Amino acid sequence: MKKIGLFFLLVSSFTFAQKSALAQKIDAITKGKKATVGVSVLGFENNVKYNKNGDRPYPTLSVFKFHIACAVLDLVDQGKLSLDQKLFFKKEDMLENTWSPIREKYPDANISLSLGEVLDYTVALSDNNGCDLLLKLIGGTQTVQKFMDSKGVKGFQIKRNEDDMHKNWKTQYDNYSTPNSAVHVLKKFYDGKLLSKKSTDYLMQIMIGTKTGTNKIVEQLPKNTPVAHKTGSSGKYDNGLTVAENDMGIITLPNGKHYAIAVFVSNSTETDAVNCKMVSDISKAVWDDFNK
């Protein structure tokens, strides 16, 4: 019994030391930065956990497009929507002063795209016009909130669409998630507790194909590492304020195991480059810790 007790003590001490080393690295990365940084990490197979400001709410920005996509695909699973159905973009649907690869490709609008195409634009390319059309299709942000609530997702709120946030940037704070909520919803997603297997696999592939945020959590990871992620970025406002520079995702390790990571940078007066470098450096520190 003494040997068994000593074994568990050694294992516990090792885990604590491992977490402590990671915490020290992340503290060093964020030290002196004029920003609020939240981090959460969750190992899927070994349940290793780490967080810094994990229960603090951070404005999500486009990270919320993952939650929206889940709500849309839930309606697909119910047979109320189809990935093949067409969505029509009128000229007035195309906001001008917003990030929109759809508008760039179809500047005259008046086009029809399949729901599947719009989901891809909205998640992998973070298209804001696609996002708002999806919200309009499913009945607004309240539909997303009700879906997440029904799945037991805590620490998440969505009240504003992209149009709202562009009319008044301060409303960006009305949409939030805690870092711990972000990694736990990703674990629910991975475990098939949000959507059918077909829809889970479908959205996972879209997220692995994400084109935005190449200078965030994926930047310093080995090439071809599977990273299913969703980014968010606010840009700059009064006195050089960045409301948010975010990234969250599921990362597959070389041994085939997985972890979820969320890095949220908020209320920063650092440059965009410094904000993104913090996200990238934290991601690399976590990767190194899991690959010891």
Q: Which helix (H) or strand (E) holds 43?
A: strand 36-43
Exactly one of 62, 181, 234, 280 is catalytic; which is it?
62
Burial (CB count <10 Å: 0-12, 13-18, 19+), residue 239: exposed
Residues linked to residue 227 through DSSP beta bridges, in sequence order? 251
Task: Examine the residue annotation and report whether 162 is marked as an active-site residue of this protein.
Answer: yes
Confirm whether 196 is a catalytic residue.
Answer: no
Instruction: State how far the Cα of 247 lies from the Cα of 169, in Å rounded to an integer.
Output: 19
- CA–CA separation, 200 and 195 (whole Å): 6
> And the tokens for 222?
């080995």
Q: Which of 40, 100, 126, 162 is catalytic?
A: 162
**Given CA atoms 102, 135, 191, 80 in this order, what sign does their dihedral have?**
negative
Contact 164, 140 (CB under 8 A): no
Give the C-alpha separation, 262 to 230, whole Å: 10
Q: Cα separations (Å) of 139 from 28, 68, 94, 144, 149?
A: 44, 11, 19, 9, 16
Q: At what angle do helices 115-124 and 128-138 cross, to 10 degrees?
A: 130
Q: How remote is the C-alpha of 279 from its chain's centroid?
A: 12
Residue numbers annotated as active site: 62, 162
